[in-house]
Amino acid sequence: MTIELRLTDVDPPTADPPRTIYHDISSLPDPVIQGITIRYFNYDDVSLYFKITGSGTGYTFTPATLGLLASAANAYKNLDNFASRARPTVAQLPNGEMGETIILTLTAYTDSGYTNLKWTFNRTVQVIWINSADAAFTIDELDNFDDGTVQGWANSIIKTVDDGYLTLAVATDYVLSAQYSLKSVFMYDTTGHAGYIIIGEYAQALYKTFTLPNRTNIYAVFDIRVTSSGTSGNKIGIEYLQFKANDIATLIKLGFLNSYTDQIPRNRWIRVVIPLGSYKNASTELRIILDAYSNTYYAGANVAVCTIWIDDFKIISK
């Protein structure tokens, strides 16, 4: 094996765990747009130019050129709008679920024109579609914040360079269902710093504990939106979103730390569906971590280094 494609941050020689992509079609736009974070490796003796594409029935993939990667090196890349597919119909999801597969193809070339192919690496990924509105599922939790409360969610600062504080409240600026969403803001307190945010890494966590049902198939459906006061590559970059169980196990991680440029989309809603069957019949904390990085001194009072909105959060089971 001279090149490799991974979908986690697990280091070789440990095998990369199997990965499955989950979608919930309920209220999802049509067509469905898929993004993915990849990690790719060059085990060759020379530097190579990498490219990735995919294939699957009904899918359209946008091939991405990844540039030059040195021998013995590896790199992460978030592929925004990498694939699209017509949203499956309700009739295509008997009993609320449907499975299919796609193939991701990583190729390596000796030239910058991507014509002299040297290596190819294929990886099959399972895709599971669910319909959370199907009668087969029980809605165990629905947090839409429309009662005007935070419905048991809390937040905390987990990384900061210096001073900072949090706000957590219902909001009306961005919502999926009227009239409220939940908004968590990490504010940097510029007091004593001449009105400048300090260079470095900042992160907040938004979390809540749930008693999960004693059923085999359990899913958490997150609709989430993120931003910061800065812009990508200038001031503050949105680095990654990490979803954890009990502040221990990483359930999914989107993006990666890359010193100030955006690695996940800002200013739009993202849906993340996570299976929780291994935590059935147990009290489980679900935690969202948003990481941001400032690459320069940022003038302004009380800068919002990273902000999270969530709405219409669900836990469903059958």
Token pair recorded at residue 92: 């295509």
pLDDT grade for 199, boundaries at 50, 70 and 90: confident
Q: Could you tell me how far CA 71 lies from the centroid of its own chain?
A: 29
Task: Out of 51-60, 65-74, 126-135, 193-202, pick the least confident.
Answer: 193-202
* pLDDT over 70 percentage in the chain: 93
State yes or no: pLDDT of 8 exceeds 60. yes
pLDDT at 311: 98
User: By the 8 A CB rule, do 24 and 130 touch?
Assistant: yes
pLDDT grade for 234, boundaries at 50, 70 and 90: low
pLDDT at 200: 85
As a whole number, the mean pLDDT across the chain is: 92
Task: Out of 79-88, 143-152, 190-199, pick the least confident.
Answer: 190-199
pLDDT at 193: 60
Task: Give the 3-state secondary structure of residue 289.
Answer: strand
pLDDT grade for 295, boundaries at 50, 70 and 90: confident
The topology (CATH level 3) of 138-317 is: Jelly Rolls (2.60.120)
CA distances from 197 to 157, 230, 300 (A): 16, 11, 8
DSSP state of 234: B
Cα–Cα distance measured from residue 26 to residue 97, given in angstroms and rounded to the nearest whole number: 12
Mean pLDDT of 230-249: 84
Q: Pick the closest to residue 219 from 274, 146, 179, 161 (CA basis).
A: 274
> pLDDT tens digit string along 74-84?
999 989 899 99
- Note the CATH number of domain 3-130: 2.60.40
- Domain ranges in the chain are 3-130, 138-317
Better-predicted residue by pLDDT, 182 or 255: 182
pTM beyond 0.85: the answer is yes
> pLDDT tens digit string along 20-69?
999 999 999 999 999 999 999 999 999 999 999 999 999 999 999 999 99
Mean pLDDT of 175-189: 92
Where is 163: in which H helix or E strand?
A: none
* pLDDT over 90 percentage in the chain: 77
